[in-house]
Structure 1
Amino acid sequence: MSRIAARFRKLEAEGRKAFVAYVMAGDPDAATATEIVRGLPSAGVDVIELGIPFTDPMADGPTIQLAGQRALEGGMTLSATLDTVRALRRDDDETPVVLMGYYNPIYSRGVDRFLAEAVEAGVDGLIVVDLPPEEDEELCLPALAKDIDFIRLATPTTDRARLPVVLRNTSGFVYYVSITGITGAGEASAAKVAPEVARIKEGTALPVIVGFGIKTPEAARDIAAVADGCVVGSAIVDRIGRGDSVEDVLSYVRSLADGAHSA
């Protein structure tokens, strides 16, 4: 059983919702980012999403764009991103890690080489936002063959005709984007999210995790209550970007996790 499946099974047995945290590898620098990542599990994070810095992050808002720029200017690379995962795995062999980013760095490295290195490092899943289901042969199917989950995004504009295509080779969990547009925009509404989660669940037995627009413990609780859990990214990255200490960042993460777990 994969780490992702095992984590969701454990949460279900405990009657708890999942809290997923996103941070950018190498932000604000490699050492600090690694310290934050290693501290996330003890702050209550059930699944870690680790961003791969990229020069043209078209789906991301200013907060995550700036995080990627800081990381790249500090010399962060795909290899160093995998080193961050390896650092976590020295102490933690249970918390799932999902790499989130764009296809170009993976393509440049070579799919076979990347997947072999990702497996060795301890990566459990991938979210690659610019590879649609029509391109599953590029990375999705090779990743699944290596037992790396390939997680798809569904959005408010994913209609009933498109949804089965999105879900076809999805594994691990489904990431529902609660707001149209870029990351960090707007605020999620549980009332609007609930029927969309129900619609997705009609087509899959996978957990549905909701992200975008969650900034407070109360919002984490409310969104997790109508889904299988929630994701917070930009709000955490914003704290890192403004120079909060590692301890303060992790304290904020803990408050969000407590909110989600109270749903």
Structure 2
Amino acid sequence: MSYTKITETPSNHDNLEQLDTAVLLQKMNEEDKKVADAVALAIPQITELVDALAERFEKGGRLFYIGAGTSGRLGILDASEIPPTYGMPHERVVGLIAGGDIAIRKSVEHAEDDSQQAWSDLMVHEMTDLDVVVGIAASGTTPYVLGGIADAKKNGLLTAGITNNPGSPLAEVVDIPIEMNVGPEFVTGSTRMKSGTSQKLALNMISTALMIRIGRVKGNKMVHMQLSNNKLVDRGVRYVVEGLGISYDEAEQLLQKHGSVKEAIAAGKS
């Protein structure tokens, strides 16, 4: 199927080097305002993915993100924040990037062009049919992502794709296409900008809604967060104070004893 590669179309703005800083920033901001609306149009597909993930997670399934460059880094960022925020084991949400961990900080030449590597990277994790693979590629044409998705489907896994080119090869091959047309980038082809922002928003929505659906949030509180620093311990104590109507000192003792907000509140009510 033919499609327009919107991520490569010329910017709506030109002669950028002739603009002063305030005008540059204003025009970037004007473009950024379009992103949330583009993401909103994909909510039905994001809903379908979250519901499918929640069903599989309850049975021990996992979520894997695969991507290259900015897209890969955003997947890793989202995955890395799940354990401290929601107390989930690191292996339940995993981000993989073309070129391996070194590519998180430094570009690895031609890594994204290897269509076989993503499945090799996934197989390290002993994939099962309860797992879900989400490919992230602004262009929708990244070989690393397309190859990984194709192999995941062959092995019976549910697949989804996050892309900024509607009708792209990625959108065509996945089970659940999440297509967000944010329009041309401010700097032509620089998909770390609006495309990357839309991906970050979508990933926030997917993982946060999933964690809520599987019971990692109570009310609006992160009751399973890891108490890994003083700020988070203080936040946890305040959650316990609010949940039980007790003093700060009493709440702190409960939290230290039971190790999580959820367990501390449950103990306090028993």
Range into which the TM-score falls when normalised by the shorter chain: 0.3 to 0.5
TM-score (norm 1): 0.34
Whichever of the two has the greater Rg, that structure is 2
Considering fraction of residues, name the structure with more strand: 1
TM-score (norm 2): 0.33
